[in-house]
Copies of this chain bind each other. A is one copy, B any other.
């Protein structure tokens, strides 16, 4: 099973929050003072966000950083439980 990476879950969570607010990449990148390309790469889990930029993006989204990390922790928890469970193979 593919290993879930924290940066992918952080990116997914940030994107979900932005979508939930109906905001564009351009809007949030301007507000967070990060480049649009960088924000887009972070959201797609292709780039690690530094702690400073993660804080800036959360501030731009007006979401506490603790909430974002809490959601990431919850997603990881579900994935870890699924990986720990033995795979059930159903014969035809």
Contacts and interface: CB of A to CB of B under 8 A. Distances in A.
Contacts of A70: 70, 73, 77
A64 interface: yes
The copy count of this chain in the complex is 2
A3 B55 contact: yes
A3 B56 CA distance: 11
Interface in A54-86: 54-55, 64-67, 69-70, 72-74, 76-77, 80
A91 interface: no
A6 to B, nearest CB: 4
Interface of A: 3, 5-8, 48, 50-52, 54-55, 64-67, 69-70, 72-74, 76-77, 80
